A and B are shown apart, each in its own frame.
Chain A
Amino acid sequence: MSKHHVTTTLNGNAVEFLCETQQTLLEVLRDELHHTGTKEGCATGDCGACSVTLDGRLVCSCLVLGVEAQGKSIQTIEGMAEGTSLHPLQRKFLEHAALQCGVCTPGILIAARALLERNPDPSEEEVRFWLAGNLCRCTGYNKIIDAVLDAAHEMRGG
């Protein structure tokens, strides 16, 4: 069984990798490309911990095959900050104590950024429904919602 050769873009960088047919994008990111910031919580698309964007579209990387990344642009948590300058969402998550264990955090940050790109001024209810596919078991979501709303406010120039 020969592996597939895939050419893609990861956080703006040209990347090539070999993968088996059945390997998911999540497995490729973690095991082949050593980008372990994207987490596996369920591998069935139910928890959102593995959220990434593929050509700007928010996906669960556990439900995408590695070969599907061919010619596409992948954005993961490792590409969210610009150098040492944190994205406003990252900063607000820290200021609001919006993470306890932190394992759902990369996926939630990616999902929240995708929301704010589409809707820079979401209501609390819109944030709650957008993030309903991202499970957090620690926080009860309060501080996550607060952080997203505060980041949106700041990004609008509030």
Chain B
Amino acid sequence: MDAKVIKPEAEGRDDNALKIVGTSPVRPDGVPKVTGLARYGADFALPGMLWGAILRSPHAHARIRAIDTSKAGSLTGVKAVITSADFPEQKYEFVGPERVAINFWHMTRNVMAREKVLYEGHAVAAVAATSKAIAEAALRLIEVDYEPLPHVIDVDAAMQPDAPLLFEDMITRGVEPPPKNASNISKRTELNLGDVDAGFAAADEIVEMSFKTAPVHQGYIEPHACLARFDAKGQGEIWAASQGHFVVRAFTARLLNMNIGDVLVHPAEIGGGFGGKTVIYVEPLAAALSRKCGHPVKIMMSREDVFKSTGPTSGSSMTVKIGARKDGTLVAADGLFKFQAGAFPGSPVMNATMCGFAPYNIPNVRSVGYDVVCNRPKSAAYRAPGSPISAFAVESVMDALAAKLGMDPLKFRLMNACKTGTPTAWGPKHAHDGYAETVKALLAHPAYAAPLGKNQGRGFASGFWFNNGGESSATVHVNEDGTVVVATGSMDIGGSRASMAIMAAETLGIAYDDVRAIVADTASIGYTHVTGGSRVTFATGIAVVEACRKVIAELCARAAMIWKLEPGEVIWENGCARPADAAAGKLEPMPLKAIAAKRALTGGPIGAEASVNAGGAAPGFATELCDVEVDPETGGVKILRFIVAQDVGRAIHRSYVEGQMEGGAVQGIGWALNEEYIYDDAGRLLNAGFLDYRIPVASDLPMIETVLVEVPNPNHPYGAKGVGEVNIVPAMAAVANAINNAIGRRLTELPMSPPKVLAAIHSGQK
């Protein structure tokens, strides 16, 4: 099915001048990935390599009285055994911006438990041995003396005053005066805009509802894996699949008390991340084992390990109240968002409080968040972290409010749509348009008014995501033959080498196939932040274009030298240097290849580096349409049609932009209908595998339809906005609103699995 592209600002746009931006060439790393030659995290080996294995807690919550590794250590073939004693203590402090703050005291305890195990699957020891079988046998010889403790899984239960405490001295941050007693509530945050009480007093209609969502896993197909090699000089190398090899380097060096420069991280190809590979698990363990025995050590997680010990996103408990005047004008919104952080603080609840109401112009907003620890794996980022969760609540309430007002749900959203200048609950005003355009795109879509059959329903929902900029580095080198190598520090998780090559070729005015784009290791390029936050095409793209512009300046200078002109007398056009002024004489334009051929005579190799801290990322907006059919006998929900309308700024590689939208929508459909963590009474995960944790398969789905709305971002040379994340944000509410439309019952708990849908059908409540 052909995707649509809508260009709301058609007048005055210079899209026709673009030759490569917006096309869909084959990715530079494509052939190795279809022939099995691309090397992912688990695909590296070194001579003398050992296999590492990790002993994990069978308890949801227990004190570690003692660990005896002596028998394991003396098993033939075992070369190293480590516990938390092999990692230095870290200072207890939150570092970095509050929204994404890191505490290394927590991080070192998450990669290897110290005083207590806090979830089933928590690592307690690791071994390295000459074979996988010996490593596994050694784990069985490690004796851990546990004192099992009461545990808590649910977020509302964890907030009760008598709940078992994960940290006996944790005082809630963000509350004045600070509470006297410890609790599982790590942090309270509150955003305020206007006067909420006065706003609700002025409302004609108010809807208030409560919601619960289950934790869901990112579900990348590649389990975490790495190979580490440390030598007698105390220097080390790591081959790892991650969303940021610089972050792997920084975190691993920190946990091992090493200089950052003594750790070199090679970027393996990454088999999916979706946020879950922006943190470390196996890397510091493999490194510590290798450091202890002097041999290379490889660790691969099993799928069960991935589910039990790596970050799902938070489950939640939420209450949202929104009020409007009779004419549909929103006047007030109040949200209470309680998020499971898992075993250590750091859920994305702040994002949730910020993003939930962000698509709308609401003069009075209060948004309160609680970050709550409980005996589950520590949550990790997952595609627009936090935003899809609060959007499920807010967009469900918006749908109910539209119905109460007797208004069309899309037109209700459009009349309240944010635009440039609309205040946000967290302070700054929106600086970009794009949201209203996504609503208009669906209003104009034939699917909007298409007829529905029996047991079928249609739902709409919208979403907001910040999109990030930040630190990125790129180098551009002109080769001897005039081809170009572009290197960046951004892991390529879904085609970014292609986007970088497109932007470089477009800027330099040369063919796409003359640009080779690679991902460089941590010693070969400047610091580059993670591939996450939908930041790479924007921020790393700016670095690439900036480096290309430096190269162009140098190419012009070289041409001027050859022509004996002043550097300012030469300009760059269509991949060639040419005199700026015809008065310079009759000189044929000099192509890049010709300048490269004469580089030795004009000063040597031609290349440039650009490192940026990119600001001006424009947020992502998406609005989605979902048609469902509900089976009244089973409660099963079939997705009949799903359309994503997303503001993409300007698509750089069109197919990969569509791919992000399609993939994000399907992850949202899985979150809506199937996916959840299921625990037994002892706090043990019952569905730690892809058979019972069911992500969408091909036969569950129709073709996802995409509408690329292009409202260019003036802060990027080609207008790019991040496109990776916002597409997941509206999806669960779009499905819920469609189910409500089909059966006349509103589901407020995720996942909307058949038993819940069936119960709703048979319930009296509407």
B348 on the A face (CB < 8 A) = no
Contact indicator B656/A100 (Cβ below 8 Å): yes
Given known A38-B36, A86-B35, A128-B699, contact A46–B221 (CB-CB < 8 A): no
Q: A37–B31 Cα gap in the complex (Å)?
A: 12
A37-B35, A40-B300, A77-B35 known; A102 and B269 CB under 8 Å?
yes
Instruction: Provide the bound-state CA to CA distance between A135 and B666, in Å.
Output: 12
Are B222 and A42 interface neighbours, CB within 8 A? no
| Complex: A146 Cα to B20 Cα, angstroms | 23
Min Cβ gap A92→B in Å is: 10
Asked if A109 is at the interface of the complex by the 8 Å CB criterion, the answer is yes
* Mask of A123-154 contacts with B, CB within 8 angstroms, 1/0: 01101110111111111111111000000000
A17-52 contacts to B, CB under 8 A, are 20, 22, 27, 30-31, 34-44, 46-47, 49
Chain A's closest residue to B219 (CB) is A137
The CA-CA distance from A35 to B43 in the complex, in Å, is: 9
Instruction: List residues of chain B with CB within 8 A of the CB of A80.
Output: 34-36
Q: Measured between C-beta atoms, what is the minimum distance from A134 to chain B in Å?
A: 7
Judge if B648 is at the interface, Cβ distance under 8 Å: no
Q: State the interface size on chain B (CB cutoff 8 A).
A: 62
Determine if B495 and A104 form an interchain contact, defined as CB atoms under 8 angstroms apart. no
B 671-727 contacts with A by CB, 8 A = 689-691, 695-701, 703-704
Q: Does B303 contact A (CB under 8 A)?
A: yes
Q: Is the pair B659, A100 in contact by a Cβ cutoff of 8 Å?
A: yes
**B704 adjacent to A94 (CB under 8 Å):** no
Cβ contact within 8 Å between A44 and B303: yes
Any B CB within 8 A of the CB of A101:
yes
Q: Is A16 an interface residue (CB 8 A)?
A: no
**Contact between A49 and B35 (Cβ–Cβ < 8 Å)?**
no
Any A CB within 8 A of the CB of B665? yes
CB pair B690 A131 closer than 8 Å: no
Q: In the bound complex, do residue B36 and residue A35 qualify as a contact, i.e. CB atoms below 8 Å apart? A: yes
Q: Which of B39, B663, B689 contacts A137 (CB 8 A)?
A: B663
At the interface, yes or no: B592 with Cβ under 8 Å from chain A? no
- Contact: A142 with B703, CB < 8 Å? yes
CB proximity of A80 to chain B, nearest CB, Å: 7
Contact of A137 with B667 in the complex, beta carbons under 8 Å? yes
CA distance A30 to B51 in the complex (A): 14
Most buried by A among B36, B40, B132, B662: B36
Kindly list chain B residues whose C-beta atoms are within 8 Å of the C-beta of A145.
698, 703
Asked whether, in the complex, the Cβ of B37 is within 8 Å of the Cβ of A37, the reply is: yes
In the complex formed, the residue of B with least CB distance to A78 is: B36
Overall SS of chain A's interface = loop
B662 near A101: Cβ-Cβ < 8 Å: no
Q: Which of A76, A103, A132 contacts B221 (CB 8 A)?
A: A103
Closest Cβ of chain A to B764, distance in Å, is 37
A141-B701 in contact (CB<8A): yes
Partner of B690, one of A128, A132, A135: A135
Let me know if A47 and B690 touch, CB within 8 A: yes
B26 in the interface (beta carbon within 8 A) = yes
CA distance A103 to B274 in the complex (A): 14
Q: Which residue of B lies closest to A129 (CB)?
A: B699
Contact A96 B655, beta carbon cutoff 8 Å: yes
Q: Given A95-B26, A100-B663, A141-B701, list of 13 further CB < 8 A pairs?
A: A41-B303, A42-B690, A94-B34, A96-B655, A103-B220, A103-B271, A104-B221, A109-B34, A132-B697, A137-B274, A138-B663, A140-B659, A142-B704
Show 26 residue pairs from A and B whose CB-CB distance is below 8 angstroms, ordered by the A residue. Answer: A30-B43, A35-B36, A36-B42, A38-B36, A39-B271, A46-B303, A47-B690, A77-B36, A78-B36, A80-B34, A86-B35, A90-B34, A96-B655, A101-B493, A102-B29, A132-B697, A132-B699, A137-B219, A137-B221, A138-B272, A139-B666, A140-B663, A140-B664, A141-B701, A142-B662, A143-B662
